[in-house]
Structure 1
């Protein structure tokens, strides 16, 4: 993979980080990277270790966790705020990545320890983990 390919892939990844709540699909992201959809998907996985779709879903769930910890939005509002159009899909993906439902996560009383932690540090401890490993936050 060339240096230019990596630069274009990072541009697409940055777009997912920034516009996670927008309707994004592989063809749109591939256009951002100036690649065909197939080449983009293969190259993205080779460079970052996961598919573009998985990366985007992780970003959305990561942001959903932050909104749920605040506690001032309903699960449905959080679902829509992070770019999901189906509450069922959101709940399923959230449960898969976090190990508990969005409602159960929101109801936990151990979120207070994050109150004084800078967001950039909190992200390390609260990032959803793939492969069935649930994050505990501790």
Structure 2
């Protein structure tokens, strides 16, 4: 008797509709807390099934998807308002300014203040007023296919490697 390896298939249309319901809720209120238990209850499936099916259907775990939406909204507010960065952090669902700043930098490569300054300078050069906001947001959506903590570890490893290489070169002299 041979056993076949089963490849993960895409969620059924019914489950996909349920996942989209939860995804729409996250989109509409990304500033709120969305633990997996809450998302699973919105979609009417178990927590484990929700997490597995969400990742399978959308390519990201629910938490990373929520992070992309929060960062995307924060970038919009930084670009288009004069709100203080602290207010933007709280409006986009972050409980602390420090966490917001750290995750924002990890995802975008620059601090919220640096992004705001760069975007203000770019606004003087380019006229994005004619481009629909949905297209602009989609084009600037952060890529979170890698966990934020993994990106940070990889960045630290690269920094340590460059320090080690510099030290090795100095010892040779």
Instruction: Please indicate, yes or no, whether the TM-score normalized by the shorter chain is above 0.5.
Output: yes
- Which of 123, 133, 144 aligns to 1:119? It is 133
Q: Which runs of 5+ in 2 are unaligned?
A: 1-10, 152-173
Which residue is 1:42 aligned to?
52
- Which of 89, 92, 96 aligns to 2:106? It is 96
What is the DSSP-based 3-state SS (H/G/I as helix, E as strand, rest coil) of the residue aligned with 2:83? coil
Which residue is 1:136 aligned to?
none
- Count matched residues: 132
Q: Distance in 1 between matches of 2:123 and 2:37?
A: 37
- Which of 17, 20, 32 aligns to 2:42? It is 32
Alpha-carbon displacement from aligned partner over 1:54-83 (angstroms, at most 9, x marks no partner):
000100000000000024111101000111
Q: Distance in 2 between matches of 1:111 and 1:23?
A: 33
> Is residue 30–residue 37 contact of structure 1 (8 Å, CA) maintained in 2?
yes
Using the TM superposition, give the Cα deviation of residue 39 of structure 1 relative to its aligned residue in structure 2, in angstroms. 1.2
> Is residue 27–residue 37 contact of structure 1 (8 Å, CA) maintained in 2?
yes
What is the DSSP-based 3-state SS (H/G/I as helix, E as strand, rest coil) of the residue aligned with 1:110? helix
TM-score, with length taken from structure 1 = 0.89
Which residue is 2:143 aligned to?
129
Q: Which has more radius of gyration?
A: 2
Which residue is 1:110 aligned to?
122
> What RMSD over aligned residues (CA atoms) do the two structures have, in Å?
1.4
Structure 1 residue ranges, 4+ long, deviating more than 3 angstroms after superposition: none
Q: Distance in 2 between matches of 1:111 and 1:87?
A: 26
Higher percent of residues as helix? 2
> Is residue 71–residue 106 contact of structure 1 (8 Å, CA) maintained in 2?
no
TM-score, with length taken from structure 2 = 0.72
Which residue is 2:70 aligned to?
60
Which residue is 1:13 aligned to?
23
Alpha-carbon displacement from aligned partner over 1:14-33 (angstroms, at most 9, x marks no partner):
11110101122111011011
